[in-house]
Structure 1
């Protein structure tokens, strides 16, 4: 009997717009779906098992060959549906040819389904594959316990869990209308120099706003809050803004909850701008001081056990704050894979040793107007780095076709500082490229190549 095969499904975009209680509007929905497509290619790094990748149409085949060659991996089969709605699974389920291609690629084997997170379309895909006579194991929640994913992904559920487990959170007030918000913000700023207003939901720091205790900052918040659809929907949470311990970033834990408890736990530290907007993440043993890691790992295991007791299965990301006052605070829980997942996949699948730290940057600007060619402008810098033995990889290159070109990349080093330095060096080379060492000319789809 043939062994199992993994089906890797980066349904980032659909997960980010799954919440029906927040009206993102056509523009907001489109932006989140576009961002999900931009980062979907990072699923290439989630696993090195025998697998099939479901990727949005338009990925760059030269980039795809390069990263697999640099890692010494055989490229897997890729299935890409026709892009009708920019929703990866919806497009697949409405594309008979792509479904047929997927069925052939899976070859009748038992399937382990790896996804970003639980969505209705994911459950439909699982049932479709079962209708072909194949066994499907979902690496995450099932339709029966999907409520736990939605509950834990909400910051209100996070506050419940913190209260029940006795884990510190910033002092907070939950409000249900504008008058309550105005009063809660005023009282919070009377007793604390800064506040943060949060939607129960949000992506990458969107859905949160930091407010200082001065008239200008408060007036600016009231002007800006209507530009963020998450902050236009109640309830909202008003919290004291905790001053972060300098030089640490925001500690985070990614782990998987299964029937036996918490497993595959990984440490990371998130760098933010303005106290809440995601910038980059360092992953691995060198991402945090040992004394911080020793404090947060037990917290993660307690949270994972509590989530498991509710019926949750799958990946959780727990975001924490290391306060300047020495306290560790629970900030939020993400009931899904996180932006650290491609780094976690690299650490667990590539034999680099235990003392390696990765630095991942998803939104690195490339100088000049777009589109920028991966083949001619970006690839040579990585080829030189690989020839010098540097472990650095472009993880998403679709953004090079934008008017303001963007690149995602990750580097490995013996320390976080070394990994970050490699990222800076490669980006500097891309901005001031040396003479090209690229191979024969050829069109690079989706990057202007």
Structure 2
């Protein structure tokens, strides 16, 4: 998109750049109606376009609003790649797993039960996932060999590769084999992570009988040194269930591309993990964690939000392009955390962030802010939310792989729009040859 500049005035100075309503909406990542809502609230000024048709907006003012709101991604344009899927529907500020409200599933069932529903459309009450000894030993050995400063996502990526090497049936893409591998991979990833620093079992691994409890309880000791508290573990279990899938997020698209090439499920999960680590995807909760910790330290969200706006940074944990009101995942997780007395301070800080930012523009909380409340209040590290995201979303990537294995292979093959020099071009000369030619 090219900025438009108004004609020079009589003094020769260039007038401020003006944008049409459509260009303004694209730059802000909103609908045209929302642009006029910003005008009515005094957040944007407009000028009637020459001829009286439509309005124009100052480009610098639009850019300033975009920096404050963080809504700079344009909405999907007609003709974008679309896949038919029966897994997740996002509609009217809600999201559904196979037609069932996902927040209700997370409230009533454990992560493993929701995963089974996502994979098959069948509910298996009380199901538990167990890591095979051989796969777990391989994954732990590989993870333990990493440098101490390795991130949790580094460890998960290595654990996936090690678990794949221990599974001779990984190339069997039948539904039964894929699901058997998925039920063992998820607990293997959790079991391969080292215990949280300072915990009662630091430097040791859990006993075999401890692997029989639910996945959330197993993951708890890998994220925090605090003793497991039932309301906290319930909230963690809810977070895992809520994050299993969210339609075609960037990491899920990568997973489906891998599955389209008939990569085995472990490679599909590796593809998803590679994208998830980006700061605009799974790692976003870490930014919200650090912000929330600072709010608690300084006693108010006002100076923290002001610092973000002054630096031109978006306020973490706010707004989502798919929801007009509060992210339903955040709503559900906040409700679970409201039952945890130790989370009261972090919850109040999160609400303070939302209220403070609303003085400039109303941006409701998203799930990253809710994850930050969980991680801050339970003494977890800033990267804990990313770990929860990765472990949870593994089940979603497997669900999408199962769908993609049933489609025409390699169907995702877009064509590039070449913008380089047109042929024929002369054969390039080697660098040392050019040096000899230019020498005196």
Q: TM-score range, shorter-chain basis? A: under 0.3
Structure having the larger proportion of residues in strand: 1
Question: TM-score scaled to structure 2, two decimals?
Answer: 0.23
Question: TM-score scaled to structure 1, two decimals?
Answer: 0.23
Structure having the larger proportion of residues in helix: 2
Greater C-alpha Rg? 2
